[in-house]
């Protein structure tokens, strides 16, 4: 599914092209995970002032409110002057004076939600419990270690929960834990301060590298200008079960944690 790097890549490929546009029409297709939350006509005539990201949410600041977009399990956003007629998996079109922004989502777990602003209860329900942004200065190694000390769950599911730090999804959690040399089954409370600092740095490095490489395209993700991501080609452990570790040549192992596949090297990653 699209994770933080894919959403950030989408934001970067969209912001410079859509900011300043006036909304001229809105087309809503099949129901998504959550309803739009307003009559589509309310959006007409509004101007897009900025495109931001919070966790895995794309935020479009409007002259009269806020649109929160989530790509769900299989979504992607495209933006162009001459998009073809919507297909069966195209569920939201925002027609603007600069082009059409379209949400394509085969599994329909994504959403587009309107709120009057980020302080609105609707927005806070979606954003209010998210952890710190991993690529911001607020992601502090000392605070991160303190958070881990009170948690007796395995570190990998804890990262996916998004309370300690937001947006570290399945692919990048496996990769960051490998880079930090930490076994994904290690209890969070047992991770020492130096190891927590290594993991904090690894999370930042892995996510920043993924953004630089355009994210990961495992099935159908592409940026708003149609570019596929390439991070998956450089993955050290993710989706490499049975293949030799790129560092020590031991076979990469795969286990299930919380219904998600986890990949790790038993030689390079210690409990």
Question: Which one from 3, 6, 8, 175 is the annotated catalytic residue?
Answer: 3
Reading the block at residue 55, the tokens are 């966790």
Q: What is the pLDDT of residue 270?
A: 97
141-264 and 4-127 share a CATH fold: no
Q: What is the pLDDT of residue 229?
A: 62
Judge whether 270 counts as a catalytic residue.
no
Distance (Å) of CA 57 to CA 83, 113, 146, 166, 263: 23, 10, 26, 11, 26
Q: Are 239 and 260 in contact (CB under 8 A)?
A: no
Q: What is the pLDDT of residue 225?
A: 64
Judge whether 30 counts as a catalytic residue.
no
Judge whether 56 counts as a catalytic residue.
yes
Q: What is the pLDDT of residue 73?
A: 86
Please report, for the chain, the start and end positions of each structural domain, with discontinuous segments joined by +. Answer: 4-127, 141-264
Fold of 141-264: Helicase, Ruva Protein; domain 3 (1.10.8)
Judge whether 253 counts as a catalytic residue.
no
Q: What is the pLDDT of residue 152?
A: 93
Q: What is the pLDDT of residue 228?
A: 61
Reading the block at residue 206, the tokens are 């892995």
Q: What is the pLDDT of residue 25?
A: 97
pTM of the prediction? 0.89
Q: What is the pLDDT of residue 224?
A: 65
3.20.190.10, 3.30.70.260, 3.90.79.10, 3.40.190.10: CATH of 4-127: 3.20.190.10
Mean pLDDT by 10 residues, the chain (271 residues): 88 94 96 96 98 96 98 91 92 97 94 97 95 96 96 96 92 96 98 98 95 73 63 90 98 95 98 95
Question: Which one from 11, 53, 56, 108 is the annotated catalytic residue?
Answer: 56
């Amino acid at each position: 599914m699209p994770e933080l790097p894919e959403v950030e890549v989408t934001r970067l490929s969209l912001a410079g092209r859509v900011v300043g546009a006036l909304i001229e029409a809105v087309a809503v297709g099949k129901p998504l995970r959550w309803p739009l939350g307003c009559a589509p006509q309310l959006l007409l005539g509004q101007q897009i002032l900025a495109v931001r990201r919070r966790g895995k949410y794309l935020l479009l600041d409007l002259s009269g409110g806020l649109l929160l977009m989530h790509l769900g399990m299989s979504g992607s956003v495209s933006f162009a002057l001459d998009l073809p007629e919507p297909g069966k998996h195209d569920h939201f079109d925002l027609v603007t004076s600069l082009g059409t922004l379209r949400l394509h989502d085969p599994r329909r777990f994504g959403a587009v939600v309107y709120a009057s602003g980020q302080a609105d209860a609707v927005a806070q329900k979606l954003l209010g419990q998210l952890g710190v942004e991993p690529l911001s200065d607020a992601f502090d190694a000392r605070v991160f270690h303190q958070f881990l000390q009170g948690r007796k769950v395995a570190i990998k599911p804890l990262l996916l929960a998004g309370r300690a730090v937001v947006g570290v999804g399945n692919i990048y959690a496996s990769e960051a834990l490998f880079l930090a040399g930490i076994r994904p089954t290690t209890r969070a409370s047992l991770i020492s301060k130096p190891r927590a600092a290594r993991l904090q740095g690894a999370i930042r490095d892995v996510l920043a590298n993924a953004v630089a490489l355009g994210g990961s395209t495992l099935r159908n993700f592409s940026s708003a200008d149609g570019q596929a991501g390439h991070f998956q080609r450089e993955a050290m452990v993710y989706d490499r079960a049975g293949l030799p570790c790129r560092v020590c040549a031991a076979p990469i192992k795969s286990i299930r944690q919380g219904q998600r596949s986890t990949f790790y090297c038993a030689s390079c990653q210690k409990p």
